[in-house]
Chains A and B, each alone.
Chain A
Amino acid sequence: MSEKLLSVEGLRTYFYTYAGVVKAVDGVTLDVRKGETLGLVGESGSGKSVTAQSIIRVVPTPGKTVEGTIEFEGRNLLKLTESEMQHIRGKEIAYIPQDPTTTLDPVYSVGDQLTEVITRHQPVSKQFARSKAVELLRSVGIADPEIRVNQYPHELSGGTKQRIAIARALSCEPTLILADEPTTALDVTIQAQILELLKELKQKFNVAMVLITHDMGIVADTCDRVTVLYAGQVCETGTTEQVFENPKHPYTEALLSSVPSLALRKDKLSVIPGTVPNLIHPPSGCRFHPRCSYARQICVDKDPELESIGDGRLVHCHRWRELELTSAVAS
């Protein structure tokens, strides 16, 4: 196993709203190794995006990271000053946002937005940055980059804008990319192209990536390892094979069985009963217990530990030893 690039431990990010404290991220532990892709999976509202925002410290107000350590290449990001963070954002850790249609500033041309990042972090001339922008556009598969570089966001399609967002993320050759559901706002054919592009670029630039998604299909296709989140907590972590073949947490099993599959034409898609809990007053004990078909009294009373069970796997369940969970790989 190669060395750790990013390791997040016991991260807690709370939102102080008028209705109460929303514990959006409540004790997330994960790590990313050099050059690998980590899938961060969970339902809407499970804290995936907030975890990523916490890593580069851009959590929107009234959110605040209250606890935890975020170690990135030997530095604790939570201890750095804001101006030190500004040199890490976009340069060492890049972020690909969810909706490409709104992430580009409408008043600047594509070239201006790319050169902004390049000249912000590298001591290069405007002309050099401009030519680098054209090169980047070409490397993310945009046709006629010399024309596109002078165009404005409203003249481009969603897929092209997402390619530009990816080009912007790559512009300073970061060591880590946080991709926050980079394909959800795109239609299916474009999704596949963007995922292919991300895989290809990851190979080419040898960059590590945290891929946030709720689509287990995307995880199976692109990720080396997976961390499953539920209600702001980690359910389990493992390599993609381990998690798909041998899930240890009931929530992972439920997630896997709710993936629609063309091969298996079941009459009914299995769903997880209930909804993501209220994070102001989360359920007692294990947060998944109200929706878990394996729940016992202990699950209601006591929050399980995040246990390391060997092979680099982490599980957050009282009953992982006894349970025989269904694998996603058809038997």
Chain B
Amino acid sequence: MSRVETPTSQRGGVGQWALAWRRFKKNRAAIAGLIIVGFFAFLAAFDRLIAPYPPNCVPTPFSPFCTGQYAPLHAPSFAHPFGTDSNSYDVYSQVIYGCRAAFYIGFGATAVAMIVSVLIGLAAGYFGGTTDNLLMRLTEVFLVLPFFLILLLFLKVLYYFSNTGAGGLEIEILIIGLFSWPGNARILRSEVLRVRGLEFIGASRQIGASASRILFRHILPNVLHVLIVLTTLQIAASVLIEAGVSFLGFGDQSVATWGLEFYYGFNYISDAWWVEAFPGIFLTLLVMGFNLLGNGLRDALDPRLRE
């Protein structure tokens, strides 16, 4: 043995995140999730370069690649790998544009939900007492409201003002976000309660740290692992909700989304399976990718699941 391996303790400074990444790398399902999400992120970023036709567009003989096959409900062919839908839209192009819409709604709604749930969860868990009581009762009120109906109602009203439902995506982001925080806030609150009882929080009070410093510098980083996992799962859930809304025909018809393709193809499902199948495969894959990623992150970050 000519070479002596330096033990980890001698190199110094292996933080929790580095350790979590090591555990994450060993988890094949998690890596698969990361690759799937990465692939969709790539499609979403370069959709205009990848898709042969513009969004929501009936191909004309002047379009590039056009072979004259722009009939509605055309089966998959060389010109239209995923076929065409009842509007003669190229399903392949629509599905590629749907990636961007999915990321837009997923990240947008999740950002709103997570900001609210972090503020409420931290405040309720840390201050306790009456603050906690009030915030948790508010959370319960939001949990019992039939939020899907409220969302459909808002979108229906929107159709009176614009006949394509343009702006619906933003309304969906806001409403999904404003109604998805309660579960997350509860989980965060319970994590904050656990961390608040740990001695190093007491120790930071003893060294003269202020309440805001303790909250944001000591408690938040220690519940971050939970927040990250909840965020990935919330993204997947938001994408699914959007698909449901669009499938029911309440969605924003000015933007190509997977749910909208379901809506267009539903009446012709026995003749044209491709209009439903391809967006369905993409939606399933992306949601599965985010779930695998979320589970992998949870396994890598949860201190209780460590070997």
Contact = CB atoms under 8 A, between A and B. Distances in A.
B156 interface: no
B199 interface: yes
Interface residues of A, number: 39
Majority secondary structure of chain B interface residues (helix, strand, loop or mixed)? helix
Nearest to B225: A107
A90 B206 contact: yes
A155 B12 CA distance: 9
Interface in A44-92: 56, 58, 60-61, 83, 85-91
Interface residues of B, number: 27
A152 B13 contact: yes
B162 interface: no
B207 A117 contact: yes
A103 interface: yes
A81 to B, nearest CB: 12
B222 interface: yes
Nearest to A168: B207
Contacts, number: 89
Interface in A267-314: none
Given A102-B199, A105-B222, A152 B14 contact: yes
A105 B9 CA distance: 18
Nearest to A114: B207
Contacts of A94: 206-207
Contacts of A107: 15-16, 221-222, 224
A110 to B, nearest CB: 9
Contact of B199 (A56, A83, A87, A99): A99
Contacts of A88: 208
Contacts of A154: 16
Contacts of B202: 58, 60, 97, 103
A106 B199 CA distance: 11
B303 to A, nearest CB: 8
B218 interface: yes
A184 to B, nearest CB: 13
A148 interface: yes
Interface of A: 56, 58, 60-61, 83, 85-91, 94-95, 97-99, 102-109, 116-117, 120-121, 147-152, 154-155, 165, 168
Interface of B: 8-10, 12-16, 128-129, 198-200, 202-210, 217-218, 221-222, 224
Given A60-B202, A91-B208, A152-B15, 19 more contacts: A56-B206, A61-B129, A86-B210, A89-B206, A89-B208, A94-B206, A97-B199, A97-B206, A98-B199, A102-B200, A103-B200, A103-B203, A106-B222, A107-B222, A148-B12, A151-B12, A152-B14, A152-B16, A165-B203
